[in-house]
């Protein structure tokens, strides 16, 4: 589904904002603050993230990049990467095609997740990494609701 509004791209031309063309920009990397890099790396690998890089630059800097399966955006954990307090990141969001499958998969990997929550704007489950950084998993399409009552 194509986005709607002033930033929407069309087959007729580039993305525009207030009538002016804008540069194509993609979110690449989000820093996630953690206390124990190895523990966090093991957690994210356990839930299916791929470890792309693990580089120790110095005693003060270690960079670990992990990417969720199928995602164009990665996360970075490490030492000396951010001033955020470990566990302070809240509501990082990923999307899946099937929330029930995601719920079962996360539970099968030993992750404590909430029950599936159906909201008018989507279906979600929530979990946290070992430091308490919060994640939301949203189904990309609405789940079928209960049948409409007969009139």
Position 88 in a domain: yes
**pLDDT for res 22:** 87
Give pLDDT tens digits for 40-89: 999 999 999 999 999 999 999 999 999 999 999 999 999 999 999 999 99
Position 13 in a domain: no
Q: What is the DSSP string of 69-120?
A: TT-S-EEEEEESS--SPTT----EEEEES-HHHHHHHHHHTT--BPPPEEET
Share of residues in the chain with pLDDT > 90 (%): 74
Number of domains in the chain: 1
Position 10 in a domain: no
The region that residue 144 occupies, defined by phi over 0 for left and psi between -120 and 50 for alpha, beta otherwise, is beta
Position 5 in a domain: no
Q: Across all residues in the chain, what is the average pLDDT?
A: 89
Position 63 in a domain: yes
CATH assignment of the domain containing 109: 3.10.180.10
Between these two residues, 133 and 11, which has the higher pLDDT value?
133
What band does 19 get if pLDDT is binned at 50, 70 and 90?
confident
Position 6 in a domain: no
pTM for this model (two decimals): 0.82
Residue 1 has pLDDT above 70, yes or no: no
Question: What domain range includes position 118?
Answer: 27-139
Position 112 in a domain: yes
- Determine the Cα–Cα distance for residues 151 and 148; give it in Å rounded to an integer: 9
């Amino acid at each position: 589904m194509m986005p709607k509004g002033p930033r929407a791209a069309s087959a007729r031309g580039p993305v525009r904002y207030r009538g002016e063309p804008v540069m194509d920009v993609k979110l690449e990397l989000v820093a996630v603050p953690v206390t124990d890099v190895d523990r966090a790396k093991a957690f994210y690998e356990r839930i299916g993230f791929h470890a792309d890089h693990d580089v120790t630059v110095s005693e003060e800097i270690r960079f670990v990049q992990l990417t969720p399966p199928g995602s164009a955006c990665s996360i970075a954990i490490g030492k000396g990467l951010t001033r955020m307090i470990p566990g302070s990141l809240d509501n990082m969001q990923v999307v899946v095609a099937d929330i029930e499958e995601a719920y079962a998969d996360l539970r099968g990997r030993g992750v404590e997740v909430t029950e599936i929550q159906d909201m008018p704007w989507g279906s979600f489950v929530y979990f946290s990494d070992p430091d308490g950084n919060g994640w939301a998993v949203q189904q990309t399409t609405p789940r079928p609701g209960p049948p409409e009552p007969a009139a």
